[in-house]
Amino acid sequence: MSINYSGQIPNNVNLADDRRLQRALEAWQPGFLQWWSEMGPESFQGCDVYLRTATSTDAQGWATFGYVKMPDYRWGIFLADPEPDRRISFGQHKGEPVWREVPGEHRGVLRRLIVTQGDTEPASVEQQRHLGRTCPSLYDLRNLFQVNVEEGRHLWAMVYLLHAYFGRDGREEAEALLRRRSGNADNPRILGAFNEKTPDWLSYFMFTHFTDRDGKYQLASLAESGFDPLARTCRFMLTEEAHHLFVGESGVSRVIGCTCQLMKEHNTDRVGEHDGIDLTIIQKYINFHYSVSLDLFGSELSTNAANYYTAGLKGRFKETDRDDDHQLTSSGYAVLKPDHGVIVQTEQPALIALNETLRDSYIADCERALTRWNKVIREAGISFELKLPHRGFRRSIGEFAGVNVTPDGQIVTDEEWQRRTADWMPTRADREFVASLMKPTTAPGQFASWIAPPARGINHQALDFEYVTALPAN
């Protein structure tokens, strides 16, 4: 469905036909722009950035590319096309037509789901706002800004739902989304991982790989929702999200590639003195970001998750591709738990294990990416294998919260944990070293010492294309 760019708010929801909603969103817009100018990418608002903008929401050709100053980016409301005769595919309403309006009894829960998702979008922009100053290349700088403007658009996506379907409470929530701040002691963002710092580009690539990937799974399960406007909103967000995941996975892969190159060139596994990042440090960053992201799926056993599912609000990843009764009232699911010092597998009712089900889909996806990273190392002829830590490692939520689980899944004493934690988690020295490498590299076609160039440019452009121009003077 093509997008109407003629009004103040680009959209494909016929906003002009709903004057009330249009006015409400136009009243929210200045607050959003104010937030962007305060909390969006620092120092780069005047640059021309080679960005993609959605021009239609069908699978092919939904993007056009061109230079845009970020504050002029056309943030708007884009929903995937409706599926004719779509039916609810799971839960107690399975087989019934999807809802075009919010079912009254689920209003509070749906609003909460939308607000929680919506809150992550501006949070990540806030977390990443200082990174531009230390970009490893113009190509990476442009990708950072693309991700940032699209997270801003994802905020618009959720705010549209709040305004269109939740009346006054929705409008208040939309305002609150602009007031919370990542890491702020008094008014933080809702979820833990979104209050962590993203202090350097290695953290950024890890964040877009592991934490944005949680977003993919949350969006995919909301894309199954019986509340059709939410499902359609999330479907289009997922197509944007794919680029964010690409930035993360390929970014880490390029760091690994560069490290391997330096290892071979200098015949050492300590590449720090050659301004590269050791594989052991990369492993620690993986341990940190993966464990923080696993917590975002919530407790292994959750009656809330069961209720969302039964009510038809939030499905499983690829719900319709699954070959079962889509109600789960009598099936079981394997869940790991700590039990007297060891980790055991238990059988739980599938309905209350839905967070774990979603986490399992996520873990499988992370494993596939890890295999691709290890292939880079193997093909360089280096014997080293990166690993994902055990799912119980360093968790703050659920069955493993407060349990000392090592990366390979052993439960150890507090003392041993303390003694070995520097082997598993980035130390202050590791972080300071990574920070010391973060020097801006802004000549077209140049890349920082610690990262390899990508395989190809954006939108078939050359690697030395000027992806960002009119940079601020230092």
CB-nearer residue toward Fe ion: 219 or 353: 219
Rg (CA), the chain: 23
User: How many residues lie near Fe ion (CB under 5 A)?
Assistant: 6
Q: d(Cα 115, Cα 112) in Å, to the nearest integer?
A: 5
Minimum gap (Å) between residue 149 Cβ and Fe ion: 11
Single out the residue of 163, 244, 289, 326 in contact with Fe ion (rule: CB under 5 A). Answer: 244
Tokens of 149: 């403007």
Minimum gap (Å) between residue 431 Cβ and Fe ion: 24
Amino acid at 178: L
Question: Candidates 154-162, 345-353, 396-404, 428-436 — which segment interacts with Fe ion by CB under 5 A?
Answer: 154-162
DSSP 272: G
Minimum gap (Å) between residue 170 Cβ and Fe ion: 19
Residue pair 259/280 in contact (Cβ under 8 Å)? The answer is no
3-class DSSP assignment, residue 48: strand
Amino acid at 441: T
Minimum gap (Å) between residue 249 Cβ and Fe ion: 13
Burial 239-255 (b: 16+ CB within 10 A, else e): bbbebbbbbbbbbbbbb
CB-nearer residue toward Fe ion: 194 or 333: 194
Region for 183 from its dihedrals, namely left if φ exceeds 0, alpha if ψ lies in -120 to 50, beta otherwise: left
CB-nearer residue toward Fe ion: 121 or 249: 121
Question: Candidates 5-13, 134-142, 233-241, 309-317 — which segment interacts with Fe ion by CB under 5 A?
Answer: 233-241
3-class DSSP assignment, residue 171: helix
Q: d(Cα 245, Cα 256) in Å, to the nearest integer?
A: 17
Q: d(Cα 120, Cα 270) in Å, to the nearest integer?
A: 37
Q: d(Cα 242, Cα 59) in Å, to the nearest integer?
A: 13
Binding residues for Fe ion restricted to 94-123, rule: CB under 5 A:
121
Q: d(Cα 164, Cα 22) in Å, to the nearest integer?
A: 9
Question: Candidates 20-28, 37-45, 240-248, 274-282 — which segment interacts with Fe ion by CB under 5 A?
Answer: 240-248
Region for 91 from its dihedrals, namely left if φ exceeds 0, alpha if ψ lies in -120 to 50, beta otherwise: left
CB-nearer residue toward Fe ion: 119 or 212: 212
- Paired with 49 in beta bridges are 68, 468
Minimum gap (Å) between residue 373 Cβ and Fe ion: 20
Minimum gap (Å) between residue 406 Cβ and Fe ion: 31
Binding residues for Fe ion restricted to 198-227, rule: CB under 5 A:
212
Minimum gap (Å) between residue 117 Cβ and Fe ion: 8
Q: d(Cα 233, Cα 158) in Å, to the nearest integer?
A: 8
CB-nearer residue toward Fe ion: 245 or 328: 245
Single out the residue of 106, 129, 154, 431 in contact with Fe ion (rule: CB under 5 A). Answer: 154
Amino acid at 389: P
Question: Candidates 143-151, 185-193, 277-285, 435-443 — which segment interacts with Fe ion by CB under 5 A?
Answer: 143-151
Minimum gap (Å) between residue 32 Cβ and Fe ion: 15
3-class DSSP assignment, residue 468: strand
Q: d(Cα 121, Cα 117) in Å, to the nearest integer?
A: 7
Instruction: Give the C-alpha distances (Å, rounded to integers) separating 442 from 102, 149, 362.
Output: 49, 20, 35
CB-nearer residue toward Fe ion: 124 or 259: 124
Binding residues for Fe ion restricted to 310-329, rule: CB under 5 A:
none
Minimum gap (Å) between residue 19 Cβ and Fe ion: 29
Cβ of 265: how many Cβ atoms within 10 Å?
A: 11
Does 126 sit near Fe ion (CB under 5 A)? no
CB-nearer residue toward Fe ion: 241 or 278: 241
CB-nearer residue toward Fe ion: 244 or 326: 244
Minimum gap (Å) between residue 215 Cβ and Fe ion: 5
Q: Which residues sit at the interface with Fe ion, rule CB under 5 A? A: 121, 151, 154, 212, 241, 244
